[in-house]
Structure 1
Amino acid sequence: MAAIPARAVLVDIEGTTTDVRFVHETLFSVARRDLAAHVSAHAGSPEVEAARGAVARERGVSAAAVSDGELAAALLSWIDEDRKETSLKALQGKIWRSAYESGGLRSHVYPDVEPALRRWRDLGVTLAVFSSGSVEAQELLFRHSTAGDLTGLFTRFFDTTTGPKREPGAYEKIAEALGVRAGEVLFLSDVAAELDAAAKAGMRTVQILRPGTARDAEGRHVVAERFDQVAVA
């Protein structure tokens, strides 16, 4: 692969830096296991009430009409659907914090990721993350990873409060926040629709083909199987 000029590299997490199975089989199972207890113990907290409000809006009722049990049941169904609901992601982040900080959870990061990030950082490239998981969840994942604490490598973390990952506007906002032009940002993701949105915003793109990833059938994006196959100039 020819070197791609970039002042910033923006990375996705699930299926890109991290095995999708860790997210769905480990993180989601922890969230399912602890969600009802967390809702009950933290009723009235901002993250629980934001989720209650989201469920209430979907049902067309007041938040007061959604009991803790109904809230937990609705959120469990959203987890099963892999719903990209911002309030759910924020609540999951709080649950995962407890699991990480107890020492019972370490996040998966592919072994090619950390050396590549350090290499790009040493070149003066700004590194950032864009994930549907909350900023808190992103920071926890990289702080408690099998490769050690990687949070210091990243300048910024972005979640869906910036905008949906399949809409170009989110990527335009990220480039602005990083202080660079969109064309100076390289976005790495396994999801073709996200790469399409980034490309429409003007970013350069590489699809990361981890095991099980569906390759972009139309060949719109450069592809690589690992981060060490991506050259940044």
Structure 2
Amino acid sequence: MSDSTIRAVVMDVEGTTTDIRFVHNVLFPYAHDQLPEYVQTHRAQPEVAEQIDAVRRELGEPDASVDKVIETLLHWIETDQKITSLKALQGMIWADGYQRGAFKGHLYDDVAPRLRQWKEAGLALYVYSSGSVQAQKLLFGHSDAGDLTTLFDGHFDTHIGHKREAQTYRRISDELALSPASILFLSDVVEELDAAASAGMKTLQLVREGTQAGTEHGVVASFGDIPL
């Protein structure tokens, strides 16, 4: 890798900056536990009412009761569905939890020091995750390393495209007004790295505990091992 060509770093979240168990063992169960009361208590608020109606449209039942909506949302959490209305409500519930100090966003210990170094060195930093932009900002804004949101120049979620399609990474490159070869993409998922490499980006795989190393990309065990 030619260090001098890298002008921006785009990073995945789960399994890359953040232990995937934080999402599955903390965030998802918290949303599942809090959702019934949260929806019932805030059902009249416009942003919540909008998502309740979106669930009804998804069900094809415009007159579905709030209890039916809640039952559906819980089922979607249990089956890990990526449905926009669920993501929106989860984001609201997580925001409430973060603000009340119910938990902090987990980051691997090697992440925050490296992000600060890169920022000081003039690199542009971006997040690209399947989690919503709101969820990303909450995690980094309430992380166990403090509020890191000022380190990032931007955020992307699946609104820009699927993570395993090369065209998505071309769109990101266009959004950043940078050549793909000047962007380093970090992820733990080989298929995402394959797509980014197909678009011309440089790639490195983060191999954390439980991650299977691939053979087509450079491999590092921590942000501290990234040669930038």
TM-score, normalisation: structure 1:
0.89
Deviation for aligned residue 1:195: 1.4
Q: Per-residue deviation at 1:185?
A: 1.1
* Per-residue deviation, 1:87: 3.1
**Is contact 2:39–2:48 with CA below 8 Å preserved after alignment?**
no
Name the CA distance, whole Å, in 1 between partners of 2:64 and 2:194: 38
Out of 214, 219, 222, the residue aligned to residue 223 of structure 1 is 219
SS at match of 2:15: coil
- Check 1:100–1:119 CA distance in 2 against 1; reply closer, same or farther (3 A cut): same
Q: Give me the whole-angstrom Cα distance separating, in 2, the residues matched to 1:16 and 1:191.
A: 9
Change (3 A) 1:193 1:83: farther
- For residues 160-180 of structure 1, give each alpha carbon's deviation from its aligned partner in whole angstroms, at most 9, with x where no partner exists: 122222222222222222221
- Alignment root-mean-square deviation, CA: 2.0
User: What is the aligned partner in structure 1 of residue 94 from structure 2?
Assistant: 96
CA contact (8 A) 2:105 2:144 kept: yes
After TM superposition, the structure 1 = structure 2 runs for residues 106-125 of structure 1, keeping only pairs within 5 Å, are 106-125=104-123
- Distance in 2 (CA, whole Å) between partners of 1:202 and 1:106 is 35
State how far apart, in whole Å, the 2-side matches of 1:48 and 1:132 are.
24
1:47 CA drift (Å): 5.4
CA contact (8 A) 1:55 1:74 kept: no
Which structure 1 segments of 5+ residues have no match? Answer: none
1:40 shift after superposition: 2.2
1:122-162 per-residue CA deviation (whole Å, 9 max, x = no partner) reads 22110000111111111110111111111110000111122
Matched residue SS, 1:157: strand
Equivalent residues of 1:43, 1:49 under 8 A apart:
no
Q: SS at the partner of 2:105?
A: coil
> How many Å separate the matches in 1 of 2:125 and 2:57?
37
- Return 47-56 or 138-147, whichever deviates more: 47-56
Flag structure 2 segments of 5+ consecutive residues without an equivalent: none
Per the TM alignment, residue 89 of structure 1 is displaced from its structure 2 partner at its CA by 2.0
Aligned residue identity for 1:229:
D
Distance 1:224 1:3 in 2: 15
Partner of 1:206, secondary structure, is: strand
Distance 2:149 2:28 in 1: 22
Pick one of 188, 191, 194 that aligns with 1:190.
188
Matching residue of 2:198: 200
Aligned to 1:23: 23
Residue in 2 aligned with 1:70?
Answer: 68
TM-score, normalised via structure 2 length = 0.90
